[in-house]
Chain A
């Protein structure tokens, strides 16, 4: 497919679409408008930077709890021992250089009536607020899995210490050990993520601990890029990876950290290393601001990414209910550009344009074996729907050269997006 071979065009064209939506530049009111962005991941950092490049007169403040951001894409390669965690980490110096006021602190309250955000001892006013809080773990949704359990059975679904913990456990495990991964039902961050991780753990076991095995217990029968993954597993990891689907009794119903055991409706599975990917919800501040609904995620207007629950607050990235768009770094970045263009328009009372958004997700099945899925999305009936006939997945019958090329594109994609957002 051609889409996988033109990743640069994706970034450039989605940037162009967002930029086109922002022109002509509206005349601003005398007072500089203030935009607050909470959350400095792919979505929030992109919104902040994009707003400054659309109009340097907009006063942009980015609030983020951590001085260093640890990226999730490619963190599965850290778990698989192919990459250092440092390659996942970025600071905010380039955002500061772009004129973004970066505040390392934690927002504790949002008042949508007075349009203020509280953090530490101070209160910051805003004209428009953008939340990019990513995900939080839904503690307690899986019986037995709380914060204490995560210290023993890591989720590693928010990159950082948890990534290192899971990696260290795999390294410390004896050859012959059983690794068990639990995958939740939809929706969750990074739909192909668990299967990329399973692949790279299996790769590590095959090359370093060949008597060991990974069992993936899944609450689903279908998943992203399924046939591509399953074909690759049959070819590369027939003895090291076993996937147990929902209909084969794979749904994990509880975990016991004391015995490192995962229970399903039909049995129990003890693990030397347990990686529990738990049910998730929008990041903490979404609930505080009142923009998350009963699902735990945030419904948004697909043109402006403004919350349908609280006016004046926009939400981008994994926290949103974005219809057909997956929860990915690329989606967050694309949504951020559309949201920034819309916010710039709304600040002057102009009407935002209907966007087109693009997403691509690469997954590594082995160091030299990449696969991808791509799609184009547009607003339809208050949701984001996939444009018919757009995108697609890597071919099922590709040669080793194509797979190796996609692994290179994956790496190049990561460099491109992290440079655009943080570099």
Chain B
């Protein structure tokens, strides 16, 4: 499985705006390049990234060929309750990766 990096604060106060950072290792082959012999290199990209907070989707992003390798996505949310963030990346050629991170909200 592809390597993913996640940064979610371990603790937050209820109502705090928290920053979440994610990075997935992926070539993001655009589909527009050719080999030296002229054959097209098929597209191979991550097409969708989602984040759920205790089962509820709080962030989603569609990715396109212009996005460079190893997509780095940062976003904010409000810490409402202790629990688990689930991150999912899906893409071409059946690509799928999942990561989770826990947070304690006081």
Report the bound CA distance from A45 to B30 in whole Å: 48
Number of A interface residues, CB 8 Å?
8
Report the bound CA distance from A221 to B72 in whole Å: 14
Decide: B21 and A265 in contact? CB cutoff 8 A.
yes
B6 an interface residue at 8 Å Cβ cutoff?
Answer: yes
Which residue on chain A has the smallest CB distance to residue B70?
A247
- The one of A247, A265, A267 in contact with B25, judged by C-beta atoms closer than 8 angstroms, is A247
Which residue on chain B has the smallest CB distance to residue A246?
B70
A221 touching B70 in the complex, CB below 8 Å, given contacts A248-B3, A249-B5, A267-B7? yes
Could you mark each residue 10-35 of chain B with 1 if its beta carbon is under 8 Å from any beta carbon of chain A, else 0?
Answer: 00000000000101010000000000
B48 an interface residue at 8 Å Cβ cutoff?
Answer: no
Decide: B70 and A266 in contact? CB cutoff 8 A.
no
- The one of B3, B7, B69 in contact with A265, judged by C-beta atoms closer than 8 angstroms, is B7
Interfacial chain B residues near A221, Cβ < 8 Å: 69-70
A265 touching B70 in the complex, CB below 8 Å, given contacts A248-B3, A249-B5? no
Interfacial chain A residues near B6, Cβ < 8 Å: 266
- The one of B5, B25, B69 in contact with A266, judged by C-beta atoms closer than 8 angstroms, is B5
Report the bound CA distance from A348 to B72 in whole Å: 56
CB distance from B80 to the nearest CB of A (A): 24
Could you mark each residue 248-276 of chain A with 1 if its beta carbon is under 8 Å from any beta carbon of chain B, else 0?
Answer: 11000000000000000111000000000
Interfacial chain A residues near B7, Cβ < 8 Å: 265-267
CB distance from B59 to the nearest CB of A (A): 17
Could you mark each residue 221-246 of chain A with 1 if its beta carbon is under 8 Å from any beta carbon of chain B, else 0?
Answer: 10000000000000000000000001
Which residue on chain A has the smallest CB distance to residue B69?
A247
Which residue on chain A has the smallest CB distance to residue B6?
A266
Please provide the 10 A-B residue pairs with the shortest distance between their CB atoms, ordered closest to farther.
A247-B70, A266-B5, A249-B5, A266-B7, A265-B21, A247-B25, A265-B7, A249-B23, A266-B21, A247-B23
A-B contact pairs, 8 of them (CB 8 A): A221-B69, A221-B70, A246-B70, A247-B69, A248-B25, A265-B5, A265-B72, A266-B21
